[in-house]
Copies of this chain bind each other. A is one copy, B any other.
Amino acid sequence: MSDPIQYDPIGVIRTPFDDPEGMPIQPTGESAARGTVDLNDEYEAGLADLEGFSHCILLYHLHAGDDAYSLTPTPFLDETPRGLFATRAPSRPNPIGLSVVAIESVGGSELTVSGIDVVDGTPVLDIKPFVSAFDIPDEPVDGWVESAQADVKMAAADDRFIEESSE
């Protein structure tokens, strides 16, 4: 239907995670894991002014996955198959990863961030500043994730209640 599109990575993300197994999982909350976006030297000037923002959006190529994907995967948080485009599953037709991360520092062609959950060596496609007026919608409703997270919280609360009630 359309011609293929070709992108060249602008750098790589350096993290402590050699494989997906040990990585923090997004929905469990704020990850403190630090990583460095190591841009190719030619792009260094493009990092100016980024340090004034608290957060940025990283777009990267999820290179560690396999090429197979399901259009109805069962997400980590859920037990029900969901439409792929209603999930953040990494296996997708175009495996572009997106993370909102906190900017820790910028120096030379390196951008240090926290809240990063990708494997070491992930190719970076783009860096955008996080701009509240563009990126935070009015009254977002989180679909199945909302009820799944409520279930998780309720399960945790139940466990705590059992422990507390045994005193």
Contacts and interface: CB of A to CB of B under 8 A. Distances in A.
Contacts of A134: 26-27, 88, 99-100
Interface in A55-100: 55-57, 59, 61, 71-72, 82-88, 92-94, 96, 98-100
Contact of A12 (B2, B11, B55): B2
A22 interface: no
B1 A49 contact: no
What is the predominant secondary structure among interface residues of chain A facing chain B? mixed
Interface of A: 1-2, 4-12, 26-27, 29-30, 40, 43, 45-57, 59, 61, 71-72, 82-88, 92-94, 96, 98-100, 102, 123, 125-145, 149
